[in-house]
A and B are shown apart, each in its own frame.
Chain A
């Protein structure tokens, strides 16, 4: 009995030990997996016409063993999968060893930062570039990250001509991880880079410190403020959709003339962050009014691009809601099956939305099938539908033929719509033939002030 116990205990220990050994065994990296990726050997190294290259098919490839990878001899082909290889040496003639840059080894030195930035820009392998830059971004998340390190990164990025996307990510990450330093840097950066930097950094800042970012934009003026508001909204949406929504409603309350434009921007961000379903639900539950109209208009765009049939069915719930009419036109504009789009418009109940959709149908025709559109318009009785059809038609036509577009605009029976359409078409006409457009303007009944809107000239 005693003997059996010993045997069972021994076997139990052996079994446990085998489990531990097995788990450790699996941990060992496969041979060659951490070898630096070198420039691949040149299969043409011996005179190799196409026929010879073809013969390589099925030929046994040389295998690599650790330490044997020698690009100069063309031997030691690194057959490890890309991500099991370490950086290409081509960009600076030596391999980048990622373990030297490990987080636990402490803050990156100036030299290490420069090396990583160089790899992130110069490596011939796009995945390698991404990994090197990600290590920089990880460093920025550390408590130990300093302004000096940030400056070293910026300098190395500038010297090696980092891409716009890398600048965007770096500036965002700086704003998000060290808001104080990132904001202070606005005053230090040379003038010519200031707006670009601020625009990149602001969403990062807003994603963690919304109020500081809002205050920063509030101090700006004019067009700069309008542009930065868009970037601010991106960051606020990254922080909290509710905060961002409240902010845009606040803009409207303060009579910001670009509030609807900003709402469309926010709607894009919501769809990006929450997906289409989340975006639809968010837009549908907004307070009724022009801002909701703008949000629905934007999500209709995204929805139609994904599934036009489903988008058109979704849109029908808004028939009769004049403030949401523009989403119908958006569905038509984004629907790539023109016939299906037209059939859908024809099936809609008469409403503001249906007319907006009709306008979009004729907008397409004005650009692509103007002769067919003209005949259809001629056949239509004078009506609101006809006005909307002409209004859309001239939008498409004016880009190529401003002169005809202004003549058609004058056909609109509704005075307000007619004037707006004439000015819109007139803008293109002035760009295409200023002299002829001036003659037309002189003979038209448009108010003097509209000249500046069309020709971009100041009217005394």
Chain B
């Protein structure tokens, strides 16, 4: 009796074990022969090159004969989704990624690595790409993908490395799970988190800088998932007094510009809440739209020609349209109601026109009646002409009606003249009778700091 019991028990145990082994180690359709010979897929060239690309083919789902196996009804493109990479697969793919003999083979190996990436094998996959420059697309995409599958663990891994891998990991995480990434970021207390010691204490990176760096990564990921989420997050950051947060709208704008048509992107920016962030986004989109379709951009921009905060939109359209067709751009600008938008647009459009065809530009200026808009146009024109013909540019600058505009134009032309021909500029200053303060402003232009920004 006891023997019988043991016999049945042993067989039942064997059946359970058998199921477990089948499920874990021999899943149907797993391509065990990762390094099996591939041949004859293509008509020539890469696809015919024998032993090369085997692991890639395997990992991407080709059969050992090199032909895709559609027998189970799963697509080739889906194969990576169903395929677990073994440690050996990862090593082979890594080798091909590092030493593949052509860029396509290396590219495919990298994609196969990403396709098989899990939170568990991420460190081993990372070893295959760690030789890459941290600014390279591959390095960043790996961390993006790891962030998406690994979340906080992937982000915090970067706290102990030299490279910039925290930010792309956070981007990936935020793109896949915005809520969790946001919550993590908002609860960050870096100074009291030993995980950040290597960055804050050893490398002495200021906490605010690191926070800003991570925030940019977060915003990029939120924008990838949903630009509206990203812009609302920025709004909240601005409201909570985070300095410079508005500027991050450029990250969101970039994501929108990639996915949407210029017209759609412009509409998106228009829908943002009033304020500096919207102004920045609209300006960016106006330039993008105008480069693609200036007439359509102009029609859109006209809606804002009387909004003082949207003057930059008119300026962007005027400038970018003038690059293609300065006369048309200026005609359009002249049709707009007088105001700051028209003036900025005229300044930029005439600057462009002076660069392309100074004779036609000057002829057009001669036909314009005196106005603020003409003053702006002359200022734009003279600022460009100063690099070619400073004497003529100065004559134009001196003809400006508004005292303030004229002074600024003279200083601008004088500075360009001094850089181009210091002796000639000095001679002009002596003979022109310009005031001492204008001379000083010409001779002492604002210095630029290390970032190339003008110091105030």
Chains A and B form a bound pair:
yes
Please list the residues of chain A having a beta carbon within 8 angstroms of any beta carbon in chain B: 7-8, 11, 14-16, 18-27, 29, 33-34, 39-44, 48-50, 53-54, 56-59, 61, 77-79, 81-85, 88, 90-91, 98-105, 121-127, 130-131, 134-135, 137-138, 140-143, 145, 165, 168-169, 172-173, 175-179, 203-204, 207-209, 237-239, 273-275
A238 B226 Cβ-Cβ under 8 A: no
B22 A18 Cβ-Cβ under 8 A: yes
A207 B107 Cβ-Cβ under 8 A: no
Residues of the B chain whose Cβ atoms lie less than 8 Å from the Cβ of A42? 178, 226, 228-229, 232
CA–CA, A83 and B178, complex, Å: 16
A43 B43 Cβ-Cβ under 8 A: no
Question: Closest 5 CB pairs between A and B?
Answer: A22-B22, A104-B70, A102-B75, A82-B148, A57-B183
Q: List 9 A-B contacts (CB under 8 A).
A: A14-B15, A22-B24, A23-B28, A25-B22, A53-B182, A83-B117, A130-B107, A173-B104, A238-B102
Stretch of B45-53, B279-287, B304-312, B383-391 at the chain-chain interface? B45-53
B81 A16 Cβ-Cβ under 8 A: no
Residues of the A chain whose Cβ atoms lie less than 8 Å from the Cβ of B29? 27
CA–CA, A319 and B104, complex, Å: 40
A22 B184 Cβ-Cβ under 8 A: no
| B74 contacts A by Cβ under 8 Å | yes
Among A24, A203, A207, A238, point to the contact of B28 (Cβ < 8 A).
Answer: A24
Distance of A182 from chain B, by nearest CB (Å): 10
Name the CB-closest residue of A to B242: A50
A102 B145 Cβ-Cβ under 8 A: no
Residues of the B chain whose Cβ atoms lie less than 8 Å from the Cβ of A14? 11, 15
| Known pairs A29-B82, A98-B77, A275-B98; A134 contacts B108 (CB<8 A) | yes
A22 B18 Cβ-Cβ under 8 A: yes
Residues of the A chain whose Cβ atoms lie less than 8 Å from the Cβ of B137? 126, 165
B240 A207 Cβ-Cβ under 8 A: no
| Known pairs A137-B108, A142-B42; A81 contacts B176 (CB<8 A) | yes
Residues of the A chain whose Cβ atoms lie less than 8 Å from the Cβ of B186? 50, 53-54, 57
B187 A141 Cβ-Cβ under 8 A: no
Interface centre among B69, B107, B141, B259 (most CB of A within 10 A): B259
B182 A124 Cβ-Cβ under 8 A: no
Interface centre among A39, A54, A90 (most CB of B within 10 A): A90
Within 8 A of A (CB), among B204-238: 223-226, 228-229, 232-233, 236-237
CA–CA, A98 and B78, complex, Å: 7
Name the CB-closest residue of A to B22: A22
Residues of the A chain whose Cβ atoms lie less than 8 Å from the Cβ of B260? 91
CA–CA, A434 and B18, complex, Å: 86
Among B76, B101, B237, point to the contact of A273 (Cβ < 8 A).
Answer: B101
A177 B47 Cβ-Cβ under 8 A: yes
Among B11, B176, B228, point to the contact of A82 (Cβ < 8 A).
Answer: B176
A274 B99 Cβ-Cβ under 8 A: yes
Distance of B303 from chain A, by nearest CB (Å): 25
Residues of the B chain whose Cβ atoms lie less than 8 Å from the Cβ of A15? 11, 14-15, 18
| B111 contacts A by Cβ under 8 Å | yes
Name the CB-closest residue of A to B82: A29
Residues of the A chain whose Cβ atoms lie less than 8 Å from the Cβ of B144? 82, 126-127
Residues of the A chain whose Cβ atoms lie less than 8 Å from the Cβ of B148? 81-83, 127
Among B14, B100, B101, B240, point to the contact of A11 (Cβ < 8 A).
Answer: B14
| Known pairs A27-B27, A53-B183, A134-B108; A83 contacts B177 (CB<8 A) | no
Name the CB-closest residue of A to B40: A143
Distance of A44 from chain B, by nearest CB (Å): 4
B23 A23 Cβ-Cβ under 8 A: yes
A177 B81 Cβ-Cβ under 8 A: no
| B64 contacts A by Cβ under 8 Å | no
| B153 contacts A by Cβ under 8 Å | no
What are the interface flags for B1-36 relative to A under an 8 Å C-beta threshold, 1 for contact and 0 otherwise?
A: 000000100010011101111111011110000000
B102 A50 Cβ-Cβ under 8 A: no
| B44 contacts A by Cβ under 8 Å | yes
| B172 contacts A by Cβ under 8 Å | yes
Distance of B34 from chain A, by nearest CB (Å): 17
CA–CA, A123 and B141, complex, Å: 14
